[in-house]
Structure 1
């Protein structure tokens, strides 16, 4: 399969890139800094802004699917996620690429309040609430398209976890998923692409 990974040099994107190549896929890796991704026979580096629609359109030509796993360090207000998604949707529609798997996270939509006490009461209000305001806009943009989309909402990232990964497409009252590794997230994203699972669904994934 020929994949485009938007955000390929980030914590999840870099792990997804390695997994995809190991499993025989070819990848075009979007990054703002080409030096952060090593090109190879199976990896083409596309250096450019994720909000640049003409750049994305050129990068998407001839591909089968897109994984959007953009990250950001800023704590302030942002429109990066929605601006990127808007440009990506237009590029996908122009090039005929139908499959989109996008990462938002715990705090988007009805996943808010389901990340465990520390995340819900401390991390979200103090550190991540602004980015999730934009991720709400991002999800709304994706849901309005005719693309074969999947929106993946990982629990808060942790270095290690234990037990079987839990996956919910409907969030039961009181459910708390408080941890997931970036490796687990990358593996789940690739499974969604390879198996065409969870189309037009928003799986919430992690460990209690």
Structure 2
């Protein structure tokens, strides 16, 4: 299948590119910098921005699934995530786009903030508050759109190896525990979900 991966500079996006190619998919990768990604006969690299309608349209047209894996190290107030959502909705409308769109936010965005552990609530409050405010805005924009969306909320990300033994938690439940998960395992879920599309119009939490 044709998979577009948006935000492949590092982390989950780069892992997703590697895993999708290993499984034989055709991948279009969009990032502000793609030179570090090895060439591959099934890979199209686009240097551009996820907030550019021209770049995003080029990346997602003709794709069977889109993975939005953009992150930022900026701890200050940002509109990056909501800007991406607005651009995606605009472009999808122009393309009459009907394929699935899997979007990474984080456990702690939206209503999931009420289910955080004390430790994670403290970490987000101290270091990631502005990011999560904007990730919540992103979720609200996406879920009110006509996209075939899935919102994926991983727990605290690590650089560990893929285990394929992680938990997939659909819905929010009192007492639920969402802890650490490797970026490689998140990528494993994304590629598998692009293939099978079991959670359309659902919020999914991921944890080891």
TM-score by length of 1: 0.92
Question: Which range is displaced more, 173-182 or 136-145?
Answer: 173-182
**Unaligned stretches of 5+ in structure 1?**
none
Matched residue, 2:16: 16
Matched residue, 2:106: 105
How far apart, CA to CA, are the structure 2 residues paired with 1:167 and 1:33?
Answer: 31
Is residue 150 of structure 2 the alignment partner of residue 166 of structure 1? no
Matched residue, 1:87: 87
**Unaligned stretches of 5+ in structure 2?**
none
How much does 1:97 deviate? 2.9
TM-score by length of 2: 0.92
How much does 1:170 deviate? 1.6
How far apart, CA to CA, are the structure 1 residues paired with 2:94 and 2:17?
Answer: 24
CA contact (8 A) 2:160 2:184 kept: no
Matched residue, 2:58: 58
How far apart, CA to CA, are the structure 1 residues paired with 2:153 and 2:184?
Answer: 14
SS of equivalent residue, structure 1 residue 131: helix
How far apart, CA to CA, are the structure 1 residues paired with 2:131 and 2:173?
Answer: 24
Rate the CA distance shift 1:96–1:36 in 2: closer, same or farther, 3 A.
farther
Question: Which range is displaced more, 185-194 or 51-60?
Answer: 51-60
Matched residue, 2:185: 184
How far apart, CA to CA, are the structure 2 residues paired with 1:163 and 1:39?
Answer: 26
How far apart, CA to CA, are the structure 1 residues paired with 2:47 and 2:92?
Answer: 18
How much does 1:151 deviate? 0.5
1:82-140 residue CA offsets vs partner (Å, 9 max, x unmatched): 1011111221222233210000011101211434332222x111111100100111001
How far apart, CA to CA, are the structure 2 residues paired with 1:24 and 1:7?
Answer: 20
Matched residue, 1:41: 41
Q: CA RMSD in A?
A: 1.7
> Higher strand fraction: Structure 1 or Structure 2?
2
SS of equivalent residue, structure 1 residue 180: strand
